[in-house]
Amino acid sequence: MAFENLSEREKQILFNLIDYYIRSADPVGSRVIAHKFKMGISSATVRNTLQDLEELGLVEQPHTSAGRIPTDSGYRVYVDYLIKPEKLTEAQKKAIKQSILKEGRGINEILGQTSKVLGEITSQLGVSISPRFEEGILKNVRLIPVAENKIMVVVIVRSGLARSLILEVEASISESSLLEVESILNERLSGLSLSEIRKSVAERIADVSGHGRLIQLVVDSKDKIWTEDKSELIHVAGTDRLLDVPEFASREALSRLMKIIENGHILYDFLSRATEEGIVITIGRENKIDEIINCSLVTSTYRVGSITGKIGVIGPTRMPYGKLVSLVEYTAKSITEVLSGMSSEEK
Residue 154, Cβ density class (10 Å: 0-12 exposed, 13-18 middle, ≥19 buried): middle
Max Cα distance, the chain (Å): 89
One-character DSSP codes across 7-51? -HHHHHHHHHHHHHHHHH-S-B-HHHHHHHTT-SS-HHHHHHHHH
Contacts of 255 (CB under 8 A, 6+ apart): none
For residue 256, what pLDDT is reported? 81
Phi, psi at 136, each rounded to 5°: -65, 150
Do residues 53 and 14 make contact, with C-beta atoms less than 8 angstroms apart? yes
**φ, ψ for residue 235 (rounded to 5)?**
-125, 130
Is 306 exposed, middle or buried, given 0-12, 13-18 or 19+ CB atoms closer than 10 A? Answer: middle
The per-residue pLDDT for range 84-116, each reduced to its tens digit, is 999 999 988 988 888 887 655 677 788 888 999
Residue 69: per-residue pLDDT? 96
Residue pair 301/125 in contact (Cβ under 8 Å)? The answer is: no
| Residue range 3-82 in CATH 2.60.260.20 | no
SS3 state at 162: strand
pLDDT score, position 347: 45
CA distance 38 to 16: 11
What φ, ψ does residue 25 adopt, rounded to 5°? 65, 10
Domain boundaries, the chain: 3-82, 90-130+232-346, 134-225
Q: What is the mean pLDDT of the chain?
A: 87
Which pLDDT score is estimated for 104?
A: 57
* Fold of the 134-225 domain: Enolase-like; domain 1 (3.30.390)
Task: Please enumerate in sequence order all residues whose Cβ is within 8 A of that of 320, keeping only pairs 6 or more positions apart, or say none.
Answer: 22
- Over residues 142-201, the pLDDT tens digits come to 999 888 888 999 998 887 777 888 998 877 888 899 999 999 999 999 999 998 999 999
The pLDDT of residue 242 is 77
- Place 230 in a pLDDT band, splitting at 50, 70 and 90: low
* pLDDT tens-digit map of 3-27: 788 999 999 999 999 999 999 999 9
Q: At what angle do helices 8-24 and 43-55 cross, to 10 degrees?
A: 90
**Three-class DSSP category at 66:** coil
Among 196, 265, 209, 204, which residue's Cα sits nearest to residue 232? 265
What are the tens digits of pLDDT across the range 260-285? 887 777 888 888 877 778 899 999 99
pLDDT in tens, 66-88: 799 999 999 999 999 999 999 99
CB contact set of 329 (below 8 Å; sequence gap of 6+): 85, 278, 279, 300
Q: Name the CATH topology of 90-130+232-346.
A: Beta-Lactamase (3.30.450)
What's the rounded Cα separation, in Å, for the pair 93 and 310? 19
The whole-angstrom separation of Cα 306 and Cα 228 is: 17
Mean pLDDT of 296-318: 91
Question: What CA–CA distance (Å, rounded) separates 304 from 159?
Answer: 6
Residues 6+ apart with CB under 8 A from 100: 110, 113, 114, 117, 331, 334, 335, 338
Going by the DSSP 8-state scheme, the letter that residue 57 receives in this structure is: T
What is the rounded distance in angstroms from the CA atom of residue 249 to the CA atom of residue 245? 7
Burial grade of 333 (CB within 10 A; 0-12, 13-18, 19 or more): middle
- Spatial neighbors of 25 by CB under 8 A, at least 6 apart, are 246, 247, 318
Q: What is the pLDDT of residues 206-229, one digit of tens each?
A: 898 888 888 888 999 998 888 876
- pTM listed for this prediction: 0.81
Question: What is the predicted pLDDT for the residue at 162?
Answer: 79
